[in-house]
Each structure stands twice: as C-alpha cells, then as structure tokens.
Amino acid sequence: MKLLARLDAIDRFQKRRGFKIGASIALAVVAIGVAATIAVGVSSGSLAVPTLEGVDPDSEAGRVLGRVISGGNPIPIAIMTGIGSVAGLLAVVWLGLGLTYVGYTAATAVVAVPLMQFEQTRALGFIIFGAAQLGWVFLLLMRVAELLFSGPGVIMGVARNVLSEAVRMKISLVFIVLLILGLATLPGILDESQPLRYRVQSFLQYATGGTFWMLALLTLVFGVTTMTTEQRSRVIWQTVTKPVAAWQYLLGKWIGIVVVQGVLLAVCATAIFGFVEYLRAQPAVGEREAYRASEGVVTEDRLILETQVLAARRSVEPESPYSKDDPDFKRNVEQFIANERRANPNFAKNPAERQKVEDDLFKSAVQAFRSIDPVQERLGVDFVFKGLGYARAHNLPLTLRYRVDSGGNRPDEFFTLTILLPDGTPVIRNTALGINHTITISPGYISEDGELTLRIFNGRLGMTPEGEAYIATNPRTITFPPGGLQISYDAGSYRMNFLRVTAVLWLKLAFLAMLAIWASTFLSFSVASLVSISVFLMAEMAGFITKSVELYKTTDYEGNTQIWKVVAAWVSARVASVFSVYADLQPISRLVDGRLMSWGSVIGGASVLAIATLVLYGLGVVTFRRRELAIYSGHG
C-alpha cells in the first residue's frame, strides 16, 4: 500500500467513534493512575510539599512566608496541569487528531531528544521540543475556534474566513513562528548564576512584554492586511453584492481577529505561567532545595521572590502636607510671581504660563517635603501613610520600599538611614544610593484609624554612654524620588493577578484590532499601517510623554516665553491625555513589580477601551458605507 493510502487509512481510523471512546478510556485510566501515584507519594512523604524548616512561625519571616508557602505548593499546580493536559488530549482525540498528534510528537522527539543528550546542544533540543508543542496547541485551539464559528450567519462566516486567513497568510505565519520560537528560546538564555528573584522577574518582563508587543504588531498588520487585501483583489465585490451590511462585515472581521489574539495569548500566557511556576520551585540563593535554606533560615532571595515579585501588592505613599488648593500655597505663588515681575514685568502673564509656574512650585514643595537636610532637619521628618486599615484588619505584614537619591548617586557611596518605628524602635540601614531597598514591618504598628507614622533620620541615631540621643549625619541632603517611599502589603494572589493582567492585555489587543480595521476603511495598506502603528506607539508612550511635558521648559535661558515650545507642550499634553487611561493600566509593569491589578482597574480600563472601540467601530461603519468600492483602483 502506498504511503498516502496508509496515511488516509490512519486518518479514517482515528476519526471513528470506537477509537475515540477507547482512547478516552485509556486517557482516563492513565490520569487516575497518575493522580493515585501523586496522592500516595504525598501521604507517604516521598513527594515533598514545601515546608518552612528552622523558621520561627511567629517571626516576621515566618508570618510572611507562612501565607505564601501554600502558593508555592506544587501539588495544586500539578493537579491543575494534569486536568488541563487531559482535557487537551481529549480534545485532540475527539477532533479526530489523536494518532496525528502521536506521530507529530514522536517526530519531534526523534529530532529533539538526541540533542538533549549533549551539553552543547541541550538548549537547542528543548527549544525545538517546546516550540513544536506550543505550535501544536495553537493549531488545536484554532481548530476549536473554527468549529465554534461553523454555524450559519453573516458575521460567523466573515469571522471564520479571518481565522482561515490567519493560518494561510505568510505575514501572519511569520509573526506566529517568531512569537513561538522566541517564547521557547527565552528560558534557555536565563543566567542560572543570578538570584532566583532576578531570573523570575527577567523572564516575566521579557516574556510578557515581548509577547504583547509581538501580538500588538501582528494585530495591526494582520488587521490592515485582511481588510485592504480583499479590497485590492476585489474579493470585497463578491461580499458586498450579497446581503452583507457594513456593520456585519466589520464586526465579523473584528471578532475573527480578537479570537486569533485570544488563541495566541492563551498559548503564550499558559507557557509563561507554567515556566514561572517551574522557576519558583527551584532553589533560591542559599537554599539546598526549594524553601529549605542551608542555614535553617529564610533566605533573602526567597523572601523577596515570594513577597515582592510573585505577589499582588497594594502600595501607599506618604500623605503630602501640601495641596494646590491650600490658601498658604496660593499666597506663596502670588508672592513668587510678584517678586519675579519686578525684574520681568511680563512674567507669567498668560494663564498657561501661570499654571506652569504653579505646577513647578508645587513640585518643588513636594520634593522639599521628600528631602531631609542633615543640618536643618537633624530631628528627622515624619512620614504618614494612610489607608492601611485592610492590612491591619487582616494582619498582613507591611513592606517599606525606599530609594535614596543624593548628589550623583555614586555607586561607591553609602549613606546610613535610621527609621524610627512608632514604638521608638530604630531600624538602621547602610543604604546604597539610587537603588531600591526594603524593610518588613509588623502590621501591629498600624493605628486604629489605618495610619502608620515613620520618622526617618538622615544619619545614624544612637545613644551616648550617658544615655543621651545623638545623630551622626550624612554629608548631604537625601531625597526620596516619586515612588521612592512606599508601604505595600499583600492584597491578593499572584495567580489571580496574572489572570487579570492577561485579560487586560487581551482588551488592549481588541482595541488595536478595531483601530486597524477603522484605518483600513478609508486608507491604503501602507498608510493604514503607518497610522495604526503610530497611534499604538503614542498610546504606549503616553505616560512617558506626560512626564516629559512636566519637565519641558517653554522659555529660553533668559526667561522669555517661546511660542513654538508652548504649542509643542500643549499638543503633547493633549495627545497624552487622550491615551492616559490606556497608559495608566500598566499591566506588564504591575505584574513584573508584584503590584496589584485590581478588578476595579480592569473594569475601569475595560469600560474606557470598550467606549473607544465602539467609537472607532461606528466611524468605520459610516466610512465603509460611503466608500465607492467599485471604483477602487487596487493600488497603493
């Protein structure tokens, strides 16, 4: 029998109901056996669950890790992974691809396994095997999506064609292959000599950020291509001559692109999450195995990883004593302007300049509050953190995160910092400049109204032999930059935070899909791509533009206002404000920094993005209805 005939016979056999039922039973038996083995191993102790050894459970480290140790427990993850794997294999079987997958995996193993046996080619072997499996999962999910859209209806038909185009178009395949290969390659380039927290954080940063940017570019390019190609090749004539309304056509295109995004994002997010959990179960610096330190204490590497990286923390900055509406501040502004006008009568004459002066003075006042002079403020400065009632009620340990700036932040220079707790206990730290540092604080220091007051000294606080307090000051003033002095506490699960971040990324991609479709309703491929990518870059850089405008000077060295600078600053500020909500979401940085992406943030961002998407959709429908497709040249 010829090869093609044999393959055809195998394909018919794997699609038979009897084979599917038998394969499902076999998978169920294997799954039950594996689950029983895990259960016996856990009960007998041969499969160890992470525990804290040699750590006082009442200590700060014990209290912190006591809550997260269950989060590092591999057993629930193993169970969830097993359930997901069985569900995926059952889907493969009932889609009629059971033997195809066995052959696919065997062929991949023939290539990858020999490479894994040698040190020089081991990484390449893992990359080939990992990329092949991710590629298979993508194709499987696309097959499922096609079945879901196999029903009748105009919108379903348009969306189904988009799914087929995503796999057929060369430009889409290039992006998809690059994305899968990049995600499979990234784990192999991590430096094993680095602390575990840095490896996890680096992987999250590059994997999540790289995935989003690749998907965003794919969304824009594919969205423009699927619209303009049909117009250029005149396929659109066959569509619009049928009873297909403009709103149905554009909605079907958008749904199809969003589904492709969802499939790719699901594949990538699952791979990222799985590898992070694998890294989490590796020994940290100073541990003989995960969660078991060589010296019987919790290592700094493990503590920071579990409480600051793989976390969902809510942060609180110190309450500022200054307000723009404060009458004293208003009087100071007026006095400053009056003094300046003695030398320059035209100083701050128009409202824009006056507002700039007020903003600059306010920032200077806040910066002065965040600075501690070693001479004039020898008695230290009180910083009040409010809104910590939740942490007090739930007995959640606090983390003080601080960064000290002074002079040029020389790397060989260290300042001594004293932090006085509410009960008078001093915490003295030798602090490197320009680097984030952390201190764990008991929630017992929080007052009943949810406030915590810390007094910080620019130097070392000590006692003389006679019992008198003294302060050995540092040589210069220290400053806590914006975001450089925060109290944070655990406000949720890292895993749920990861899920919310993934959902926000999908929402952003859905908005970009509609942006590409809208641009393609009235522009050619090249122009629509340029417009879409430009808007995307502006949206992503909105936060940076806002900060830049704040520091941008609209006057020359002599204090004279330059109109073109004022116009440039105004336009930049307006553009940044349009995308402020988009930029403020910051899902990737929240995930990497261990900050909470709350459901409120998700709902708020989703609402704004939904409104923006609906507006673009409405504009696209109106434009598409008015376009003369019959006389489109097909060029450009």
Round to whole Å and give the CA distance between 88 and 281.
24
110 contact partners, CB below 8 Å, separation of at least 6: none
Write the pLDDT tens digit of every residue in 577-588. Answer: 667 777 778 899
| Tokens at 498, concatenated | 């990861």
Segment 604-631 shows an average pLDDT of: 84
pLDDT bin (cut points 50, 70, 90) of residue 558 is low
Mean pLDDT of the 40-62 span: 61
What's residue 303's pLDDT?
79
pLDDT at 513: 94
What share of the chain in percent tops pLDDT 70?
A: 83
- pTM comes to 0.80
Q: Round to whole Å and give the CA distance between 507 and 502.
A: 9
* pLDDT tens digits, 2-24: 777 777 788 788 888 888 888 88
Q: Taking 90 as the threshold, does the pLDDT of residue 499 lie above it?
A: yes
Which residues are CB-contacts of 155 (< 8 A; sequence separation ≥ 6)? Answer: 248, 251, 252, 255
Q: Is 514 exposed, middle or buried (0-12, 13-18, 19+ CB in 10 A)?
A: buried
Whole-number Å distance between alpha carbons of 196 and 204:
12
Q: Taking 90 as the threshold, does the pLDDT of residue 132 lie above it?
A: no
CB 506 within 8 A of CB 262: yes
Sorted by where each starts, the structural domains of the chain and their CATH numbers stand as 370-490 (2.60.120), 494-631 (no CATH)
Residue 636's pLDDT is what? 44
Highest mean pLDDT among 149-163, 231-245, 257-271, 328-342: 257-271
Position 615 scores a pLDDT of 93
Q: What is the pLDDT of residues 426-472, one digit of tens each?
A: 999 999 998 888 888 888 899 999 999 999 999 998 887 777 788 88
Q: Which of 45-54, 92-101, 110-119, 420-429 holds the top average pLDDT? A: 420-429
| Residue 234 or residue 333, greater confidence | 333
Is the CB of residue 64 less than 8 Å from the CB of residue 306? Answer: yes
Q: Higher confidence at residue 12 or residue 572?
A: 12
Question: Does residue 220 surpass a pLDDT of 60?
Answer: yes
Asked whether the predicted pLDDT for residue 522 surpasses 60, the reply is yes
Instruction: Return the minimum-mean-pLDDT range out of 130-139, 469-478, 483-492, 607-616.
Output: 130-139
* pLDDT greater at residue 39 or residue 492: 492
Does pLDDT of 51 surpass 70?
Answer: no
Measured CA to CA, the distance from residue 393 to residue 441 in angstroms comes to 15
Of 316, 326, 323, residue with least CA distance to 451? 316
pLDDT at 236 over 70: no
pLDDT greater at residue 199 or residue 307 = 199
Mean pLDDT, range 520-530, rounded to an integer: 88
Q: Give me the pLDDT at residue 494, please.
A: 87
- Residue 560 above 50 pLDDT? yes
Mean pLDDT over 33-42 rounds to: 75
Average of per-residue pLDDT across 142-146: 84
pLDDT greater than 70 at residue 201: yes
Q: What is the mean pLDDT of residues 502-523?
A: 92
The residue ranking higher by pLDDT, 288 or 49, is 288
Question: What mean pLDDT do residues 251-260 have?
Answer: 92
Residue type for 448, please? E
Q: Give the model's confidence band at 234: pLDDT under 50 very low, under 70 low, under 90 confident, else very high.
A: low
Nearest residue to 353 via CA among 105, 139, 559, 81: 559
Q: How many CA atoms lie within 13 A of 340 on its CB side?
A: 16
Residue with tokens 């594949």: 267
Instruction: Write out the two tokens for 366.
Output: 């806040």
Helices (H), 169-245: 170-185, 196-232, 235-240
- Place 144 in a pLDDT band, splitting at 50, 70 and 90: confident
Among the residue ranges 63-77, 155-169, 494-508, the one predicted with the least confidence is: 63-77
The per-residue pLDDT of the chain, averaged, comes to 81
Mean pLDDT of 173-195: 74
How far from 163 is each of 24, 149, 223, 269, 505, CA to CA, in Å? 28, 9, 12, 20, 20
Position 377 pLDDT exceeds 60: yes
**Local confidence band at 328 (pLDDT 50, 70, 90 cut-offs):** confident
Q: Is 382 helix (H, G, I), strand (E, B) or coil?
A: strand
Long-range CB contacts (within 8 A, 24+) of 57-63: 60/397, 60/440, 60/442, 61/297, 61/298, 61/303, 61/440, 62/298, 63/397
Q: Kindly tell me the sign of the dihedral angle through the C-alpha atoms of 154, 158, 161, 163.
A: negative
- 349-358, 404-413, 548-557: which has the highest mean pLDDT? 404-413
Task: Say what percent of the chain tops pLDDT 90.
Answer: 16
pLDDT of 503 over the 90 cut: yes
Which two structure tokens, joined as six digits, stand for 614?
């609906």
The answer, yes or no, to whether residue 32 has pLDDT greater than 90, is no
Question: Per-residue pLDDT for 299 more than 70?
Answer: yes
DSSP 630: G
With CA atoms as reference, report the closest residue to 179 among 256, 264, 303.
Answer: 264
pLDDT number for residue 436: 84
